[in-house]
Structure 1
Amino acid sequence: MEMGAFSISLAVKDIHASRDFYEKLGFEKFGGDIDQNWLIMKNGDHLVGLFQGMFDKNILTFNPKWDHNAQTVEGTPDVRDIQRDLKAKGVKLIEEADESTTGPAYITLEDPDGNPILIDQHV
């Protein structure tokens, strides 16, 4: 199952310190707004989201229909297709997308160790 671009969304205490740290590792700002306490940092195909005060835990994030440059990838599964597949496999979802809609939507689940997973479609 194609899940789209992968990133880790980090719950950070100080977004400025986190930005400075990841810049030292070669990451550059790719998106976001530091004044709103969130940034997307990129190094090659690697994406790290920095979020201050938005999440309690770090989150594994997948973006269906996007590549690592936030470009639409045609012919890849919609988040609702992924949702149906996961439910058919017995995966418990915490939040579900409305099956009667199209376009942007998301689902959430946790792995067996309680790590949050966000499947967040923007197109």
Structure 2
Amino acid sequence: MDLGAFSVSLSVRDIEASRKLGFTAFGGDPAQNWLILKNGDHMIGLFQGMFEKNMLTFNPGWGANAQPLDSFTDVRGLQRELKAGGVEFLTEADESGSGPGGFLVLDPDGNPGLFDQQR
């Protein structure tokens, strides 16, 4: 199961204060209250006022530098595999769709995981 690019998405109170963590801006728009930061192979997302808890984020179809991958497991395929394994879903991707889509799961300890396919 290839989950795509991985980052930690942090729910922050002040995006400008939080961007001083030693990472370089890589994407996003602070005016829209979100910013993607990178330090070497490590990536984090800062999100101000968008969700309550920090979460693990997976981007099927993207490599570590946000480059499109030629081959990847579609988010709907990942959803089917996780469902078969008994994972609890908070939201689901439309199984009849294609292209962009996503779903949100909880791990056994209640930590959210976002699977967000952009293409």
TM-score with structure 2 setting the length: 0.96
Paired residues for 1:1-123 under 5 Å: 1-20=1-20, 22=21, 25=22, 27-123=23-119
Task: Indicate the RMSD between aligned Cα atoms, in angstroms.
Answer: 0.9
List runs of 5+ in structure 2 lacking aligned partners: none
Percent sequence identity over aligned pairs: 61
Contact 2:87–2:107 (CA under 8 A) maintained in structure 1: no
AA partner of residue 43 (structure 2): L
Count of matched residue positions in the alignment of Structure 1 and Structure 2: 119
In 2, the alpha carbon distance for the partners of 1:61 and 1:110 equals 12
Give the drift of 1:94.
1.4
By percentage of residues, which structure has more strand? 2
Q: Which runs of 5+ in 1 are unaligned?
A: none
Q: CA deviation at 1:92?
A: 2.0
Q: Write 1 or 2 for the structure with the bigger share of helix.
A: 1
- Partners in 1 of 2:25 and 2:114 — Cα distance? 21
| Equivalent-residue separation in structure 1 for 2:61 and 2:55 (angstroms) | 19
Structure 1 segments (4+ residues) deviating >6 Å: none
